[in-house]
Amino acid sequence: MEHQIFIKRIYCEKEEKDGYRMLVDKLWPRGISKAACALDEWNKEIAPSAALRKWFDHDPEKFKKFSELYVEELLNKKEELLRIKDITALQNLTLLYAAKNTTVNHARVLVSVLEKI
């Protein structure tokens, strides 16, 4: 049985349904201690490249193009995607991100890719 994949801001409280908690940002989020966020893993490898992240700069008008470019980056990391997807065979997975915008962020793109593999 495959479990669910959730996404949420790292600043939100940990919940029982979270399961495995993975931070998917390249940079450590401001204002939160490592102890406070109850992480199982900080996966910098799966985050968007520094160049792509800087170009995007959380601009909603660039999100469509950002998504396309990020998917291209992700498709070059198939082994890592499969490893992450395998976690859902055992438990729920919560992908954590720091961006303020809950609809325009890389975690949404990542979850859409994981759901297709």
Amino acid 2: pLDDT: 75
Predicted structure pTM score? 0.94
Query: Rounded distance, CA 7 to CA 107, Å?
Result: 7
Amino acid 1: pLDDT: 63
Amino acid 34: pLDDT: 85
Point out the residues of the chain with pLDDT beneath 50.
Answer: none
User: Which three-class secondary structure state does DSSP give residue 97?
Assistant: strand
- What total number of domains does the chain contain? 1
Show the domain range for 41.
5-116
